[in-house]
Amino acid sequence: MILESPAAPSASPAPIEPPHDCPLCPRLAEFREEQRVAHPDWWNAPVPAFGDPDAWLAIVGLAPGMQGANRTGRPFTGDFAGILLYETMIRFGFAEGSYEARPDDGLILRDAIIINAVRCLPPQNKPLPAEIHTCRRFLTPALEALPKLRVVIALGQIAHQSAVKALGGKLPKARFGHLAEHRLPSGIVLIDSYHCSRYNQNTRVLTAEMFEAVFARARAIGEAAGQTVSR
């Protein structure tokens, strides 16, 4: 009798969401534990991606804000930056419903998803290069898991750098600039935007019109590639 050897187990796909107690960045894990003690009713954990699994547009942010995603558990929800981001997404047909700064407001993203380059709250909103590098093990597969992905908007220089690397591009060829476009090896187009932070808005580094121009360009690229946009 000939016995067939068992099939080799197939490699598991890389996880796109970190575990609730991800230990890979010791400084951030320690800061997370401090927040859990100080604010036991907050999320205080890696913040998962939020949006449409069939998205053709991905928005890559920097990291959770203290009073925003780290408190509520949904990217950009509850902080100043989220107001402009979600209102713009609603205006351009990438979100339905009303944004009420809480994760149970019923807001639904259409054709779009938001993913932070660093999933845990960094002290002073400043992740270290090693932490950005480490958390890319979640950003890369999260982007690869989007079969219809055509356009990525990077919010700020750090998100830009991590997105370029996650999408297989080379940084010297892809320099950050507001409204700069970079076609990456897979054909995905990366559009840069200044981050919609309170500081950038208050200092007029980023105006609502400048931010809308980024989403208008993303929508135009998507439509030219045959993607639907709700309105």
List residues near ligand SF4 by CB under 6 A. 18, 22, 24-25, 28-29, 46, 118-120, 131, 134-135, 138
Q: How far is the CB of 157 from ligand SF4 (least distance, A)?
A: 18
Of 21 and 100, CB closest to ligand SF4: 21
Q: In what order do the strands lie in the sheet with 57-61?
A: 50-51, 112-116, 57-61, 151-155, 189-193, 181-183
Residue 145: C-alpha distances to residues 54, 111, 151 (Å): 9, 14, 14
Strands 108-109 and 95-96 turn out to be antiparallel
Rounded distance, CA 74 to CA 206, Å?
23
Q: Could you give the CA distance from residue 185 to residue 176 in angstroms, rounded to a whole number?
A: 17
Minimum distance of ligand SF4 from residue 139's CB (angstroms) = 9
Query: Which residue, 16 or 84, has its beta carbon nearer to ligand SF4?
Result: 16
Euclidean distance between CA atoms 186 and 194, whole angstroms: 24
> Minimum CB separation from ligand SF4 for residue 26, in Å?
8
Residue 159 Cβ vs ligand SF4, minimum distance, rounded to whole Å:
14
- Taking the least distance from each CB to ligand SF4, the nearer of 24 and 210 is 24
CA distance 156 to 116: 11
Cβ distance to ligand SF4 smaller for residue 65 or 222: 65
In the complex, minimum distance from the CB of residue 12 to ligand SF4, in angstroms, rounded to a whole number: 18
Nearest residue (CB) to ligand SF4, 156 versus 222: 156
**Closest approach of Cβ 123 to ligand SF4, in Å?**
12
Secondary structure (3-state) at 91: helix
Q: Smaller CB distance to ligand SF4: residue 135 or 167?
A: 135
How many CA atoms within 13 Å lie on the side-chain side of 159? Answer: 27
Instruction: Give just the sign of the alpha carbon dihedral 216, 218, 219, 223.
Output: positive
Residue 208: closest CA among 99, 101, 83, 78: 83
